[in-house]
Amino acid sequence: MEIYSAEVDQVLRAAGWAPGRQVDPEPWLSAFEAEGLQRHAAASAFLTEFGGIAVDISGSGINRTREPFEFDPLLCEGEGDRFLEWGEEVKKSIFPIGVLDEGRFFLGIDDESEIYLVESWLASFGRMPEAINNLITGIQATVISEG
């Protein structure tokens, strides 16, 4: 069973992903403990499969412009309070996973594998694997709360 469309699969493979990919997520997971963020199984599983991948896309999407993103939580260092505060707001544990649009927005994942756009407002790209499809095909994140 394919979980990604042919287009999404091709974009992910071009960025270095492959089914069954595994990298050690520990450096990313431990980096945020000092900022008070708690690791969870969904963050660990996501980073094991997608950590370190940078997707360089642009152009028109389904209902938003396609923007490059990078799954490197270290690009969110120093933003732990932002993830903690939004997590408290929505009663979820949101762990940093990277950035969207070359650092303009932060990305996080909760313990149910839902991917969030984290800024001065919070929006959802949906749960995995739908969230990856939405990021790559240019589907607008749904605003959950505005700061």
Which of 105, 142, 130, 141 has the alpha carbon at shortest distance from 8?
130
CB of 132 within 8 A of CB of 98? no
Please state, in angstroms and rounded to a whole number, the distance separating the CA atoms of residues 95 and 6. Answer: 29
pLDDT tens figures, 99-144: 999 899 999 999 999 999 999 999 999 999 999 999 999 999 999 9
pTM attached to this predicted model: 0.94
The secondary structure of residue 4, as a DSSP letter, is S
Q: What is the pLDDT of residues 79-94, one digit of tens each?
A: 999 999 999 999 999 9
Token couple for 73:
């939580």
**Could you tell me which residues come within 8 angstroms of residue 45 by beta carbon, excluding any fewer than 6 positions away?**
113
CB atoms within 10 A of CB 134: 22
Instruction: State the Cα–Cα distance between residues 78 and 91, nearest whole angstrom.
Output: 21
